[in-house]
Amino acid sequence: MESEEDAVKKSQVVDARARNISHNVRCTECGSQSIEDSQADIAILLRKLIRDEIQAGKSDKEIYRKLEDDYGETVLYAPKFDLQTAALWLSPLLVAGAAGGIWAYKKHRQNTNVHIMALNLVRGVSLTPKEKQTMLDLLTPPPSERTNSSSRWRKWLPQ
Residues 80, 86 contacting (CB under 8 angstroms): no
Neighbours of 68 (CB within 10 A): 16
Encode the chain (159 residues) as per-residue pLDDT tens digits.
568 888 888 888 888 898 888 888 888 888 778 888 888 888 888 899 999 999 888 888 899 889 888 888 778 877 677 777 777 778 899 999 999 999 998 887 766 677 777 777 777 778 788 877 877 777 777 776 555 555 555 555 555
Q: Where are the alpha helices (DSSP H) in 1-128?
A: 2-23, 41-55, 60-71, 83-123
Was domain 9-75 assigned CATH 1.10.1060.10?
A: no
The domain locations on the chain are 9-75, 83-143
Residues 25, 35 contacting (CB under 8 angstroms): yes
Q: Is 152 exposed, middle or buried (0-12, 13-18, 19+ CB in 10 A)?
A: exposed
Residues 51, 14 contacting (CB under 8 angstroms): yes
| Threshold 0.85, pTM exceeds | no
